[in-house]
Amino acid sequence: MFTGIVEELGSVRTRDGSRLEISCQNVLDDVELGASIAVNGCCLTVVEWGDDGDWFAAEVSDETFARTVVGDLQIGDPVNLERPVRLSDRLGGHLVQGHVDAVGTIVTPSPDLKVKVSGELHRYIVEKGSITVDGVSLTVVDPAADGFTVAVIPHTSDVTTLGHKSEGDRVNIEVDVMAKYAEQLLAGHLRS
């Protein structure tokens, strides 16, 4: 579980087939083999890290490449990084699984970020509800017929990839897991 509060802006160090190496400074402070780190909102497993603690490697599955924008990443691209939340931590964002629901497309970049998403996600997007864009916990300003808008403050633009995104860029989207659970729990009661 993550919070959507990005800890560090890293960058893609190397990419070779399914292996992705990420340059970073802070997220490896307490790393262990098999640890999870969210990369642009996608939960990846650490399989190796540098002796100097300035990079880590993850093996990316075909499923992850197919359902996220991780496959779009090129050497040098900035990435949002977050370690999993500990039970003793503050929950500053919202509950984020690191399981990307869909890929969206930026219509209007930050600060008045508008993202186009597929129709199947619309039922989970509500005004003032939580949503994650490339691993960043945000609050929906306006759910639209073809997506949603969020207001991105200057600080968030500066410390995440959202300040680097342009019209047409693809982003990972994770809707609020609580909405998905509520729907699942109520599904049997709502069927006629």
Q: Domain holding 36: CATH number?
A: 2.40.30.20
Q: Are residues 58 and 125 in the same domain?
A: no
Q: Are residues 29 and 107 in the same domain?
A: no
pLDDT in tens, 3-58: 899 999 999 999 999 999 999 999 999 899 999 999 999 999 999 999 888 999 99
Is the pLDDT score of 192 beyond 60? no
Which residues have CB under 8 Å from 148's CB, separation 6+?
114, 115, 117, 125, 131, 140, 141, 142
pLDDT number for residue 152 = 97
C-alpha to C-alpha distance for 123 and 63, rounded to whole angstroms? 24
Last residue of a domain, one of 53, 82, 111: 82
Q: Residue 155 falls within a domain, yes or no?
A: yes
Q: Residue 92 falls within a domain, yes or no?
A: no
Per-residue exposure over 70-95, b if at least 16 CB sit within 10 Å of its own CB, e if not: beebeeeebbbbbbebeeeeeeebbb
| Overall domain count for the chain | 2
Q: Are residues 186 and 110 in the same domain?
A: yes
Residue-range definition of the domain harbouring residue 111: 102-190
Q: Are residues 20 and 61 in the same domain?
A: yes
pTM: 0.92
Q: Residue 168 falls within a domain, yes or no?
A: yes
Cβ distance 115 to 36 under 8 Å? Answer: no
pLDDT number for residue 191 = 65
Q: Are residues 120 and 76 in the same domain?
A: no
Is the pLDDT score of 74 beyond 90? yes
Q: Are residues 125 and 179 in the same domain?
A: yes
Q: Are residues 122 and 77 in the same domain?
A: no
Q: Which helix (H) or strand (E) holds 156?
A: helix 154-159
Q: Are residues 111 and 185 in the same domain?
A: yes
Q: Are residues 62 and 127 in the same domain?
A: no
Q: Residue 90 falls within a domain, yes or no?
A: no
Q: Residue 46 falls within a domain, yes or no?
A: yes
Q: Are residues 180 and 122 in the same domain?
A: yes
CA proximity to 184, closest of 96, 137, 123:
123
Share of residues in the chain with pLDDT > 90 (%): 78
Cβ distance 14 to 27 under 8 Å? Answer: no
**Residue whose entry in the numeric block shows the structure tokens 């098999």:** 34
Share of residues in the chain with pLDDT > 70 (%): 98
Last residue of a domain, one of 47, 82, 117: 82
Q: Are residues 106 and 159 in the same domain?
A: yes
Q: Are residues 53 and 107 in the same domain?
A: no
Mean pLDDT of the chain: 93
